[in-house]
A and B are shown apart, each in its own frame.
Chain A
Amino acid sequence: MLLNNKLKKTLLAAGTAAALTWSSLSLAADDTIKVGVLHSLSGTMAISETTLKDTMLMLIDEQNKKGGVLGKKLEAVVVDPASNWPLFAEKARDLIEKDKVAVTFGCWTSVSRKSVLPVFEEKNSLLFYPVQYEGEESSKNVFYTGAAPNQQAIPAVDYLMKDLEVKRWVLAGTDYVYPRTTNKILEAYLKSKGVDEKDIMINYTPFGHSDWQSIVADIKKFGSEGKKTAVVSTINGDANVPFYKELGNQGITAETIPVVAFSVGEEELSGIDTKPLVGHLAAWNYFMSVDTPANAEFIKKWHEFIKSDKRVTNDPMEAHYLGFNLWVKAVEKAGTTDTDKVEQAMIGLEFPNLTGGTAKVLPNHHLTKPVLIGEIQENGQFEVVSKTPEVAGDAWSDFLPDSKPLVADWTGKETDGKPCGNYNTETKKCSGQKYE
């Protein structure tokens, strides 16, 4: 099989070479269903995305052992968009047009999703996006299997407010769209709960920021004014390690000023010395430490597949797990891989979460997910300190003035009969993808 794949790929390459003066050879064989995997394997995002590629390969492998889908084997088509955003769009086009994939699982950063979005809409193909994100989007061609802000940020703030009696807030983030939106939503939310403007400090830093001395000193000052203070961190990937190290060195512990992070998971923790982080918090929809039979099974399979029992599982992996299984269910229900039919079949489907409970596909293409708050332990795992029942993902936040009147419903029930991703309930108009 492997050899066969390689041979095909070589042929394919020869085909592309010839295609510049001639035409491409269509090698889309009918006996398999192709599944695109669009994750960066090199460049800055490889750190996070390689694992998701492996997850997809494992899921596909497993499904094939069960006999595939609709009696056909699944075949993974892996490409490397190399953390380069225009290349994401190019590779997406490649997957859809050249490889004729039935569905694609991929992307991590918001910008990569924004880059491929027009391609999936133009070619009417499906994308499963597995990462927590800023919301404010609902495309007919995308299923958002990660958390929307109301499935991560707001429950986390509630926990801090109620259980830890936090009165003063530092919203620290990397300067890009996810932290900007999340912080905007949180700011509005906190104010609606009676938090004073003075008691909110917002700070943005560039990508990969490594010198946190001044900012941590500021946070320390902000937190020394007598009220319980917490940091809500939307700091992205690489900048986290130096941030926590500086916190630890400047004497800020989880007890004095706890930090709750939305981008620090098991995978990130496995790459750092966890000592300075112990006791700080993170909010996700999945933790590896959750003790359920389904999760134990998933972890076991992952360790077998990756041939190392040191590797961890994390939230975006669960998102892919859910997304993939829901897609399989939808294809079997629809009896075809046709985009429109699968898309409609998806809505309303349910699949058990790894942490107990069920994920249900909502008409706005988001899932219902429980929100877990965990404290970081020295072994890089999380100790769950709070868990909510399943929360329905909200595409359009109610805490942003411009998106408050918007709803997404791809069944058309709430949107005047016409399926729409951003229907304005005030003007009764649908904008964006289904613009008329």
Chain B
Amino acid sequence: MSTLIVIDQSPYGTWEGREALDMTFSLAAFDQSVSLLFTGAGVNWLRKAQTTSKIEQKSVEKNISAAPIFGVKAIYADAKACVQYGLGLDNMLAGVAMAENSAELLHEHTHTAFAG
């Protein structure tokens, strides 16, 4: 079993992305193969230097950086969405792989779960 968790919502407007991330870490904690795909507005999760104190939310940067430590296999960003949101390897968190073909990525996994 291999699972791809897809996050397509920006990090702070809704809670769904955070709960999808909890699902990801939970699978990893049970030694299940799991990867993350950020697409659409979701690629904003991967932006460097997010400052969130004024909206009284915790930055998601630490969570993303911790993903490999918790055993998350890979973090993918949809390449087209990154272009749309002005994200490149220079202003993105380290350790993210660009996915040129998200459809192919979905086929490579036996399970897929979308954030709300």
Q: Do A and B bind each other?
A: no
Interface on B for A, CB 8 Å cutoff? none
